[in-house]
Structure 1
Amino acid sequence: MPALCRRYAAAGARIAALDIDAETLDVLVAELRASGAEVLAIEGDITDAKDCEKAVARTLAQFGVLDGLINNAGVSHRSLLQDTDPEVIRLVMEVNFFGAVNLTQAALAPIVVRRGFIVAISSVAGFAPLTGRTGYAASKHALHGFFDSLRSEVEGAGVGVTVVCPSFIRTGIGAAATDGGGAPVSGPRITTGGESSPEEIADRIFLAVAAGRALLLPDTTSRMAWWLSRLAPGLYARTMKRRVGSEFPGLP
């Protein structure tokens, strides 16, 4: 999320930005440098553990320290399981879950030295069901288990671990979703409660990390979903299905 880079740069942070898309990375880095930020651009694939290790090594070589890590990469699909190629789910898990695992494992030791922080960008789908996104929901649920457990391992060393669960943000992930065969989805996604701006969410993440929050529900929809899915899970599931089910004509 470029907005997170801008928010941290505005606070004086030096930024190491890792992206598989060189063109997108170049645009972001040019913008940040124009604002006076010190930025290191790293092209790499987070699903490759070696790329993650190299990215951390380059960051340490450039800046000498690594204070924090924000795991923000994500892909999605919009398809019922019966219509989804297993490779689509595998790709979603590789990027959303194993990518975060790879980068966190590579960055952990220097972050512990600095008593720094780690952020995982999850979703409402990380704690509640989401029709037509079984693979996406699985990847986000996995993030919660991983990072909540990691917190228990590193909080004694002074490292903060924050899991962020937004509902809908105006980013490219909806437009970049695939169908069950891996092709781009045509048609807009259905949202509930509107979409937050990336800048609003970035500012709330920045403040939550500074406060040492373990969980951030950064918008009204995510907070309502959290409580309803716990107090009345059946009602939540029916409401969610009624809202997004129209995307899937084959849904019984």
Structure 2
Amino acid sequence: MYRKVFASKVFERKVVLVTGGCSGIGRALVLRFAQAGARPVILDLHREELDSLVLHLREHLNSDAMGLVCDVSDPQAVERIMTLVTERCGGIDLLVNNAGITHRSRFADTPRAVFERIMAVNYFGALYCTQAALPSLLERRGQIIVLSSLSGFVPLHLRCAYNASKHALHGLFDTLRQEVREAGVNVLLVCPGFTATDMHRNALAGDGSVNAPAPLAVGRVASAQDVAEAIFQGALRRRTQLVISNVGWRGQLLSRCFPRLFQRLVLSRTARG
């Protein structure tokens, strides 16, 4: 009983900043941390969705939430937002780098601009937010949570730019973890498998336009709420890596030991989309 009561107080009044927090896993995380008594700060591109979520949090969870419009791929905008959050809230205890976009196109059909846009949001967005929040996180001995993907170690078909951005996140944050561990800051890399979110509805085509391909999945599709709960529990325990997929370890083993077999499996499941 003591441990349950203690766990319920860990994030009480802690400032938890979530990028891309209005939909999917980001929204589920905002709700979960708010339920634990945290003060959510939500960054997203859409003012109406932010206002709606903040109102919901205040009316249903009595949460002192804040919603701010921010494009995480804009370093100046990120600096301004982080300064504002620090001034209003006193600092940041937990940063969740969740904002991300994807695409569906072959490498030969994907222009450089699409690669640059994917990296700008998925990789540099996380880098900019972390750089700007790091002084506060160091002062508060906080946490950084990074939403990677199963594709961080298992290649997904027609996702070359997306896969590359997730590999880059691992290189950056695995290194950062070593640098900030002694200062008391934890870095958790989260690798969800196929999850029911809106990300693929806004996937980029090879020409940079937004398309809406049929959902693609290998294995069971998790709910955003289940993934958020697993991440919340991982944050409670200050874990360093979390693979949330019933095909995670199998995929990793097949990809590394039997790459051709794994590629045939993925192609057979995804080529239909």
Q: Give the TM-score of the pair, scaled to structure 2.
A: 0.87
Partner of 1:48: 74
Give distance in 1, aligned partners of 2:226 and 2:248. 14
Gaps of 5+ in 2: 1-25
Q: Is residue 2 of structure 1 aligned with residue 27 of structure 2? A: yes
- Aligned counterpart in structure 2 of residue 236 of structure 1, from 234, 242, 262: 262
Give distance in 1, aligned partners of 2:134 and 2:223. 30
Give distance in 2, aligned partners of 1:93 and 1:52. 16
Q: Is residue 11 of structure 1 aligned with residue 36 of structure 2? A: yes
Q: Could you say what secondary structure the match of 1:32 adopts?
A: helix
Give distance in 1, aligned partners of 2:137 and 2:248. 29
Give distance in 2, aligned partners of 1:220 and 1:68. 27
Partner of 1:163: 189
Partner of 2:213: 187
Give distance in 2, aligned partners of 1:79 and 1:135. 9
**Does the 8 Å contact 2:188/2:238 carry over to 1?**
yes
- Aligned counterpart in structure 2 of residue 143 of structure 1, from 169, 178, 189: 169
Give distance in 1, aligned partners of 2:248 and 2:55. 33
| CA drift at 1:119 | 0.5
Deviations 1:175-227 (A, max 9, x none): 11021011222431321113211111001001111112111011212232233
| CA drift at 1:231 | 3.4
Give distance in 2, aligned partners of 1:104 and 1:159. 12
Which amino acid letter does the alignment assign opposite residue 102 of structure 1? Y
Give distance in 2, aligned partners of 1:131 and 1:219. 17
Which amino acid letter does the alignment assign opposite residue 145 of structure 1? G
**Quick one: percent identity of the two aligned structures?**
39
**Does the 8 Å contact 2:202/2:212 carry over to 1?**
no
- Aligned counterpart in structure 2 of residue 94 of structure 1, from 106, 113, 120: 120
Deviations 1:12-42 (A, max 9, x none): 1101111122122122212111221111111
Q: Give the TM-score of the pair, scaled to structure 1.
A: 0.94
Which amino acid letter does the alignment assign opposite residue 217 of structure 2? T
Q: Could you say what secondary structure the match of 1:189 adopts?
A: coil
| CA drift at 1:57 | 1.3
Gaps of 5+ in 1: 248-252
| CA drift at 1:95 | 0.4
Partner of 1:220: 246
> What is the aligned length?
247
Q: Could you say what secondary structure the match of 1:220 adopts?
A: coil
Partner of 2:158: 132
